[in-house]
Amino acid sequence: MNEVVTDHSVQDAITWAAILKAMVIVIAGWYLSGLLSRTFRRSSEEKLTVHQLAIYGRLVFYGVFALFVVTAIHQLGFKISVLLGAAGILSVAIGFASQTSASNLISGLFLLGEKSFEVGDVLRVGSDVGEVISIDLLSVKLRTFDNLFVRIPNEAMIKGTVVNLTKFPIRRADLTVGIAYREDVRQVTELLLDIADREIRVLEEPQPFCITTNFGSSSVDLQLSVWCRREFFRELKSELMMAIKEEFDQRGIEIPFPHVSLYSGSQTEPFPVQRVEEGRP
């Protein structure tokens, strides 16, 4: 009996020693994986974008940590080949159950390779416009200009149209201006170009231009197009519109509002019209 008890004690001691070693391996792997991930990010800051650093850093962390976890499992006495077989069967089952997640994961890798946008860019996706705050393996997170959080699955980003509003350093602002038919179109065109020339934030190259776009129901429509740096886009567009309104008011140039002409036909009595002078009931 004493020999049997002694054997069980030795086996228990070996088991607890293996568990302790496995725990040490996992904890050491966690810290070492974090250290390697941070080292990778620091050494690649000049070569990769912010979101590439984030994703590749995570891949380094989880890849190294997975090796330590496998080593810890082997330390406990489990056969790796059996675990790999079970993991294969489990991965197939999970794959069928989570096809959407797998699609988003693959789409995230395509987005990473395309480099169409990065953290800090402003995107328009459908009706949503916002700044990219995170690009993950499953989704892209946006913060709209009214401070709302928008999560867009990567699959939707791949299948849909994504407009990057800040991809290039300069943008063109198009301003539509309507004038009355009695105005001199050429003179107004020169005036609009002069207003654009006086604005220091308007770039000289590409040159501003003004064209006639349409004969509307109540106005002749002109388009003034100017180029500016992207950080001035919204502010410049607003201030140019105000400058045009002030200049037109000073020169007496009419910006018409829509007019509607009513015709009753030859077989219908005319509409009665009565003029009411100001100050009289």
Give yes or no: residues 212 and 247 share one domain.
Answer: yes
CA angle 64–65–67, rounded 5-degree value: 70
Q: Name the domain boundary from 164, 199, 222.
A: 164
Give yes or no: residues 221 and 145 share one domain.
Answer: no
CA 242 to chain centre: 30
How high is the pLDDT of residue 97?
Answer: 47
How high is the pLDDT of residue 5?
Answer: 44
Q: For residue 166, which amino acid is it?
A: T
Q: Has residue 129 got a pLDDT over 80?
A: yes
How high is the pLDDT of residue 265?
Answer: 62
Alpha carbon distances (Å) from 47 to 44, 52, 112, 266: 5, 10, 14, 78
DSSP track, 138-181: SEEEEEETTS-EEEEEHHHHHHS-EEETTSSSEEEEEEEEEE-T
Give yes or no: residues 85 and 16 share one domain.
Answer: yes
Q: Which residues contact 58 (CB under 8 A, 6 or more apart)?
A: 37, 137
Domain of residue 219 covers 170-251
Q: Give the tens place of pLDDT for each residue, 22-74.
A: 788 888 888 888 888 888 878 877 777 666 677 777 778 888 888 878 777 77
Q: Give the tens place of pLDDT for each residue, 81-114.
A: 655 655 555 565 555 545 666 777 777 777 777 7
Give yes or no: residues 13 and 87 share one domain.
Answer: yes
Give yes or no: residues 203 and 240 share one domain.
Answer: yes
Of residues 4 and 132, the one with the higher pLDDT is 132
Let me know if residue 221 belongs to a domain: yes
- With H, G, I as helix, E, B as strand and everything else as coil, classify residue 255: coil
How high is the pLDDT of residue 17?
Answer: 75
How many separate domains does the chain show?
3
Average pLDDT over residues 128-142: 88
Give yes or no: residues 22 and 85 share one domain.
Answer: yes
- With H, G, I as helix, E, B as strand and everything else as coil, classify residue 89: helix
How high is the pLDDT of residue 211?
Answer: 95
Rounded to two decimals, what is the model's pTM? Answer: 0.59
